[in-house]
Structure 1
Amino acid sequence: MSSFTDLGVPARLTDVLTRLAIETPTPIQRATLPDALAGRDVLGRGRTGSGKTLAFLLPVVARLSGGPRARAGAPRALVLAPTRELAAQIETALRPLAAAAGLTSCTVFGGVGQEPQVAAIRRGVDIVVACPGRLEDLLARGRCSLAQVKIVVLDEADHMADLGFLPAVRRLIGQTAAGGQRMLFSATLDKAVDALVRQYLSRPAVHEADSAQSPVGTMAHHLLHVERDNRLPVLVDLSSAPGRAVVFTRTKHGAKALARQLNRAGVRAVELHGNLSQNARTRNLDDFHTGRASALVATDIAARGIHVDDVALVIHADPPADHKAYLHRSGRTARAGNSGTVITLATTEQIREVIQLARAAGIRPTTTRIASADHPILSTLAPGARSLTSPVVAAQAEARTTPAQRPPVGEDHGAEPTPRTGRRRGRRPAGNHRRAGRSTASRPSRVTTRTTSPEREASPSTAERSRSQPTHSAATFSARRAR
């Protein structure tokens, strides 16, 4: 099997990979690296998690090494990504490679202030990793020029098309230097992406590895037929099992509500969706990366590009809109040769739609009807003792995450609204109460003891957990609420 050195990667970059314990190229890297390092235009097709990021970063850094210094306001290479999270993740992978080659890089995306990005570009930066919207804004303001860009990479091109970014992508590529190298990586090739390839890539080397339509052999798929009343207890049981879980919902409101319900039940959960400020999104992802949170409740914003090691479970709390979304969501687990489990929850009204969706995705899930949260299949799918925090800890976690959703003054939010984080309309910010002497110290305990809704559950105390079984049933879930 070829090594990175065999494929032509310079020694100083392979040394970085070795320090990061990356020694064996993935199929998409083995296929594309020789052509990309030689300066050819490349079209690489591979599923999410197949190693596409290093497949284009290594050639970009290698080919820029030893070249002229970047001019002020004029980067030499451009990587376009559809989401802020993916852009930040690409920059994280790029940073040690660029440092080893003596290159500089920065990210450009919305949701945060422009000035640090503008300052970095003004100093002169070799590689810009950008989302199309913010970069177009900087170009329109005269803060950046793409005239010196000799290498352009378009990552997750099909997702760009789904989000409606291709017109902006065309405008951006049109401002780069003619005759430069262009690389396009995508999980699928639909008509819109194919048109982009024909327009901007010159006689590209085409490589495919791990198509998104081919199921991952190390990924187990299960369909749980549940009734609506049992949905939350089942989600609490699965997401409180050992390991990390990514839980997908259809809407931003659904992600926010479910994260709050899981926290009240004792699961350390954070949310990720478009209504959060960029600082809150970054903070919540960091909590999930570091293990401070065991469950990430997200919309499809997390279905592409978000990489977290050792995600044991992907749970479709709401069935996805189509089979492509199913495959991309599911790709958060079973990455880099690891195994993983994908679970879809479906009510009686949804079951037929989900079966058709799975068939379109080339998946044959094992279907089980779940009457309650003490069904033995749950401990089979997510083995291990369930871990739930105490009500006080859960309340404190919720209190900490609420301010994180409020963006700092002066942030650029784009078109996304800032969510209400208070429980009542018109709630005044903390520290601005009209009643003198009013204390906020008791609020967390009030939050966790409300039982006016079946989905507002108080988790058991530490002593109660030690006497309980590893899994909790819907009956015990209801008994806790009665207390």
Structure 2
Amino acid sequence: MPFKTFGLSDPLVQGILATGYTAPTEIQSQAIPIAVDGRDIIGCAQTGTGKTAAFVLPILNRLGHEKAGRKKGIRSLILTPTRELAVQIEQSILGYGRFLHLRTLAIYGGVSIEKQLSTLRHGIDIVVATPGRLLDHMQRGSISFKSIEVLVLDEADRMLDMGFIKDVRRIVAALPTERQTMLFSATISPEIKSLSAGMQKSPKMIQIGRPQNPVEAITQHVYPVEKPQKIDLLLHMLKNDPMYSVLVFSRTKHGADKIKRRLERAGIVSVAIHSGRSQNQRQQALDGFKSGKFQVMVATDIAARGIDVSGISHVINFDVPAFAEDYVHRIGRTGRAAATGDAITFVSQDERKYLQQIEKFIGRKFSPKDCPEFTYVRSEATPAEPKSVPSPRRTGKASVSTRPSALRSKTGPARRRRRRKARV
């Protein structure tokens, strides 16, 4: 058993086997032995490579060994950007640690705080939390960090993108200075390095693959299509191609609901998940998608890092994401844990600029293609091959900088701040 060679305890190894895992991923192989030794870590690996187990297993091993005779209190804190990720990590802890009898609580907004307060009063070993709700508990005085030994920042780059940097710094300032700190992220930016410098001591840097590139197991396709025809193309693919577990990404909550309604009218069982849904609705949607009740789940970017569903056959970008990093995290929902998957992106004329940003970010040029047996209706401004489209300056049409202000504001700083605030 490879996990046994990392120095993990027998009960923990039994829990790993019970979940069905037998071999560690590359990030796990490199991170777990270092974490078991108690060193600080910066782990950078692509989405879907097994980062969660890379920090969960060392924590469980440490707390399981120290369970007997220890003082009471929260021993480990895991910070994560979204509710879905908090639930996912909690489930991983419960699965791997089923024979360790450690107590875990996921703390996040969108649900009643009273149940969380009650559970905290009974004693907890590990807390998985989103920054906002954790700060609520800190202000109430309902949580104590005096016994913290291990801190994890999961998806650190996403927390920075969503505007949590000040909240994270406030939380870290309240923790004991003598602790082990692990930071995991899909990308390592200068801001991440700055954050690390203020909270870690001589961390070991672990880099798996190129952080800009999606996992190699994912086959990526780009389909140029007029906006009004996107829903028709989606329906054509779902009805004519072998797509059994499909995650569709929309840029907005309204768009996600609209796509879901069109799919339902066409007889395709689907569900929508976004920040406008309650936590219970979101969890029910995830559970139904995992179980196969829904063929399609339509999501906004809030779910891009919070969905851990094995067997997703296709990720479809109904709207091209405005930020290249979001593209990587979206398509990373398929091709997970050494599986294969397909990522499909619909690109309208006004989204070509976003596609070009993605190509630059991942260092790859896409070859646009047409869907067989689908009847396209193209305007003169949108040929089948985007590479042959004249630039706006040569045609005299408005460039990005001269568009009406109402359109420019869609990706402006204020809109970005509102979108980030609404996600958690």
Q: TM-score, normalised by structure 2?
A: 0.84
Tell me, what secondary structure is at the counterpart of 1:368? coil
Residue 200 to residue 316, structure 1, CA distance change in 2 (3 Å): same
What is the one-letter code of the residue matched to 1:257? K
* Corresponding letter in the other structure for 1:343: I
Supply the AA of the counterpart residue of 2:257.
K
2:152 alignment partner, SS class = strand
Aligned equivalent of 1:242: 243
Residues 243 and 314 in structure 2, CA contact (< 8 A), matched pair in contact too: no
| Counterpart AA for 1:114 | I
- Deviation of 1:370 after TM superposition, in Å, equals 5.0
> Alpha-carbon deviation of 1:215?
3.7
Provide the residue aligned with 2:210 in structure 1.
211
Gaps of 5+ in 2: 377-420
Please report how far the alpha carbon of residue 245 of structure 1 lies from its aligned counterpart in structure 2 after TM superposition. Answer: 0.7
Contact 2:324/2:354 (CA < 8 Å) preserved in 1? no
- How many residues align? The count is 376
How many angstroms apart in 1 are the aligned matches of 2:354 and 2:118?
Answer: 50
Kept in 1, the 8 Å contact 2:83–2:306? The answer is: no
Amino acid at match of 1:361: I
- Is 1:351 aligned with 2:352? yes
2:89 equivalent in structure 1: 90
Name 1:156's counterpart in structure 2: 155
Distance of 2:217 and 2:6 partners within structure 1? 27
Partner of 1:279: 280
2:75 and 2:89 map into 1 onto residues whose CA distance is: 17
Q: Secondary structure at the match of 1:250?
A: coil
SS in 2 for 1:88: helix
Aligned partner letter, 1:194: K
The one-character-per-residue Cα deviations of 1:164-197 (angstroms, maximum 9, x if unpaired) are: 1111111111111221111110111112211111
Contact between 2:322 and 2:354, CA under 8 Å: does it hold in 1?
A: no
Please give the secondary structure, in 1, of the residue aligned with 2:118.
Answer: helix
**Superposed CA offset, 1:230-270 (max 9, x none):** 21111112234432111011111111111111111111111
Distance 1:125 1:228, change over 3 A: same
User: How far apart, CA to CA, are the structure 1 residues paired with 2:108 and 2:195?
Assistant: 22
In the alignment, the residues of structure 2 paired with residue 279 and residue 71 of structure 1 have an alpha-carbon distance, to the nearest angstrom, of 35
> Match for 1:119: what amino acid?
S
* C-alpha distance 266-212 of structure 1, shift in aligned 2 (>3 A): farther
Which aligned pairs between 1:9-88 and structure 2 lie closer than 5 A? 9-67=8-66, 74-88=73-87
**Residue in 1 aligned with 2:188?**
189
Distance 2:128 2:193 in 1: 23
SS at match of 2:342: strand
Residues of 1 paired with 2:358 and 2:149: CA distance? 42
> In the TM superposition, what whole-angstrom CA distance separates every residue of 1:253-289 from its partner, at most 9, and x where no partner exists?
1111111111111111111111111111111111111
Secondary structure of the corresponding residue to residue 255 of structure 1: helix
What CA distance in whole angstroms lies between the structure 1 residues aligned with 2:75 and 2:215? 37
In the other structure, the counterpart of 2:401 is: none
- Flag the 1:339–1:313 CA change in 2: closer, same or farther, 3 A: same
Uncovered stretches (5+) of structure 1, i.e. residues with no partner: 376-414, 418-483
- Once the two structures are overlaid, the 10-residue window that deviates more, 224-233 or 33-42, is 224-233
Q: Is 1:319 aligned to 2:320, yes or no?
A: yes
State the match for 2:335 in structure 1.
Answer: 334
Correspondence 1:379-398 to 2 at 5 A? none
User: How has the CA–CA distance of structure 1 residues 228 and 3 changed in structure 2, closer, same or farther, with 3 Å as cutoff?
Assistant: same
Q: Share of identical aligned residues, percent? A: 37
How far apart are residue 71 of structure 1 and its match? 6.4
Greater helix share, structure number: 2
1:121-150 deviations in whole A, cap 9, x for unaligned?
A: 110110011111111101111111112111
Which letter does structure 2 place at the counterpart of 1:167?
K
The CA distance in 1 between the partners of 2:139 and 2:355, in whole Å, is 45
Distance 1:4 1:38 in 2: 15
**SS of structure 2 residue aligned to 1:366:** coil
For residue 23 of structure 2, what is the amino acid of its counterpart? T
The 5 Å alignment of 1:265-276 reads: 265-276=266-277
- Whole-angstrom CA distance in 2 between matches of 1:28 and 1:327: 18
Distance 1:342 1:142 in 2: 46
Q: Is the 8 A contact 1:48 1:212 kept in 2?
A: no
Q: Deviations over 1:92-139 (max 9, x none)?
A: 010033331221111100000011111111101100111111111011
The separation in 1 between residues aligned to 2:353 and 2:341, in whole angstroms, is: 25
1:212 shift after superposition: 2.8
Contact 2:212–2:361, Cα closer than 8 Å, also in 1? no
Q: Distance in 1 between matches of 2:299 and 2:36?
A: 36
Structure 1 partner of 2:405: none
Secondary structure of the structure 1 residue equivalent to 2:127: strand
Deviates more, 1:45-54 or 1:8-17: 8-17
Stretch of structure 1 that moved more, 131-140 or 210-219: 210-219
Q: What's 2:408 paired with?
A: none
Aligned to 1:393: none
Distance (whole Å) between structure 2 residues aligned to residue 39 and residue 108 of structure 1: 25
Question: One-letter code of the match for 1:199?
Answer: G
Partner of 2:172: 173
Q: Find the residue that maps to 1:321 and give its secondary structure.
A: coil
Q: Is the 8 A contact 2:35 2:41 kept in 1?
A: yes
Q: CA deviation at 1:373?
A: 3.0
Q: Deviations over 1:293-340 (max 9, x none)?
A: 011101101111311111111101000112211111110111111111
Cα gap change, 1:359/1:178 in structure 2, threshold over 3 Å: closer, same or farther?
A: closer
Is 1:303 matched up with 2:304? yes
Q: 1:70 and 1:92, CA in 2 relative to 1: closer, same or farther beyond 3 A?
A: farther
SS at match of 2:235: helix
Partners of 1:136 and 1:315 in 2: CA distance: 36
